[in-house]
Each structure stands twice: as C-alpha cells, then as structure tokens.
Amino acid sequence: MEGDLIGENSMLAWLLAGAGLLFIWLASRGGFLPRRKGSVDATWDPPGIFLAVVSVAVSVWWFGLAGGISVVLAVVWHEYGHTIAYRCAGHDDAKFRLIPFFGGVAMSRGKARSHTEECYVALMGPGFSLALVAILAIALWQLDAAGNPMARYAYLALSMTGFLNAFNMLPLWPLDGGRAIRAMTVSFAPGLARVLTIAMSGLLLVYAFLSGAWFLLILAIMGIGWAQQIADHADRLPPMPPVHAFLGAVAYGTIFGTHILAGAGMIIYLLPL
C-alpha cells in the first residue's frame, strides 16, 4: 500500500512538473508578444569566459563547493531565461554574463519597444527558473524517498534557487520585480510610474544600508542612475493593454509565491523570524 502511494504521488509530481515545463516552453516561444525573428544560441567571448571563471571561483570560495555550484546553476538558469525572452522579443544580439559578487546580467543593445516587452523580459528570468525548481523538487522527492544522501544537495540547490529568485522578485528597483511592477503600473497609473521607480530604488538603498550589504548598496545607487536614464524613453513606450497587465500581475504573484515556497528553508535560515 505504501509503495503504491509513493508511486501515485511520484506520478502526480511528474505530471505537474510536465505541465509546468510545458508552460515555460510556451512562454519561451514568445508568450503574448508578437512573433519576431530571433533565435537562442550561446555567445562566448574572452571577457565573458573570464568573468564566468571568476564568478564560479568566488561562489565556491564564499558558499563552499555544493553551495557555490547551486548558486551558479540558479544564476545561469535565471539569466538564460532573460536571454530567451530578449531573443523572442527580436533582440538577436542578446546574451548574458556572470558577474562576480552580483550574480549575472542579461543584456541587449536594443531597448524595449513596449512596456509589455519590458514586463515579459523581467518576469522570464524568475519564470524560466520555475522549470529548474520543478526538476530539483522531483529530484529531491525521489532521492529522499530512496534514502539517498544526495537528497541534501538537491534540497540545497532547490532552496538556493527559490531564495535567489524570490529576492529578485521583490518590488525593488532595479530588481526584476521592480521592473515588472513599473511596467504594469504605467497601464493603471501612468503618472505614478516615475515616482514609484524612485521610491523602489530608495527602499533598496535603505535596506542595503541597514543590512550592511555593500553589493546591494552599489546596485541601488546604480539603479537610481539607471531609473533617471530610462525615464524619458520609458515614458514614450506604449502601455500594456489591460489584459496583458492583468496577466502580468497574475504571473508575478504566481512566480513570486512559488519561489518563496521553494526557498523557504534558505529564507528562514538567512532571515530568522
């Protein structure tokens, strides 16, 4: 009876994970954006390779071998999601790089053509990472059921992935959550978007100062400058249609909530209540 129950639960887990992966695959083909020419491939250059090697070394030095590999895996998967979104939106030059101490960054020389595109690209990093969460959750389930000691490493990778993506979904500029919130705000309250962006930057600045996280302090300062630079361009972009804004809000809540659940162990460990 117990074996049948485990088998049924495992089958349900695989079905749910399959549905999640199908959703991610459909989103990576463009979501609700108009289809444009674009492809996803790897871009290797000496600076990028150098930064990647340094990033891996720093992560392993800081978090240990298992923790460092978990962080790098989460960051690479996250940034690849942004890169896929850029390519789906027609930015054929899009690529990403690992940045020591800061994680990574996906970039394109082209600017967003609409707030729908801006929101889509912002959400696809954490959104694409839901596939990794599903894979790690299934691995943890199976390894733990078998009493395999590798289950602890699957749990570490799952918690780290959830934590990093949940943090990135916080409504703070220039994190992904802040970028998505700003894009959606333009649709409902255009005059509030610029003020909200500055407020989100200020919140991150205060949090970084109080927590003593110098890398967040640098990110917040950069974010304030970035907000000023993109303000004029963003004001000229067409707003998200109400239905897109609604779907974006649902996606934001779903992605944020899932990563909080996945990273609960790490969140409780790092932020004890």
Tens of pLDDT, residue by residue over 148-160, are: 888 888 899 999 9
Q: Is 273 helix (H, G, I), strand (E, B) or coil?
A: coil
Report d(CA 120, CA 170) in Å as an integer.
16
Buried/exposed code over 24-47 (b: 16+ C-beta within 10 A; e: otherwise): beebbebbebeeeebeeeeeeeee
7 Cβ contact partners less than 8 Å away, ≥ 6 residues apart: none
Report d(CA 91, CA 70) in Å as an integer.
29
Question: What does the longest C-alpha to C-alpha distance in the chain come to?
Answer: 64
What's the rounded mean pLDDT across residues 92-96?
A: 78
- The position carrying tokens 């896929």 is 84
Q: Please, what sign has the CA dihedral across residues 214, 163, 100, 112?
A: negative
User: Do the Cβ atoms of 100 and 161 come closer than 8 Å?
Assistant: no
Report d(CA 132, CA 238) in Å as an integer.
33
- pLDDT tier at 14 (50, 70, 90 boundaries)? low
Q: What is the pLDDT of residues 200-253, one digit of tens each?
A: 677 777 777 776 666 666 666 666 666 665 655 566 677 778 888 888 889 999
- pLDDT tier at 147 (50, 70, 90 boundaries)? confident
User: Do the Cβ atoms of 172 and 200 come closer than 8 Å?
Assistant: yes
Report d(CA 71, CA 154) in Å as an integer.
12
pTM of the model: 0.75
Q: What is the pLDDT of residues 178-207, one digit of tens each?
A: 888 888 887 777 667 667 667 767 777 777
Q: pLDDT value at position 39?
A: 45
Q: pLDDT value at position 184?
A: 85
Start-to-end CA distance of the chain, whole Å, equals: 39
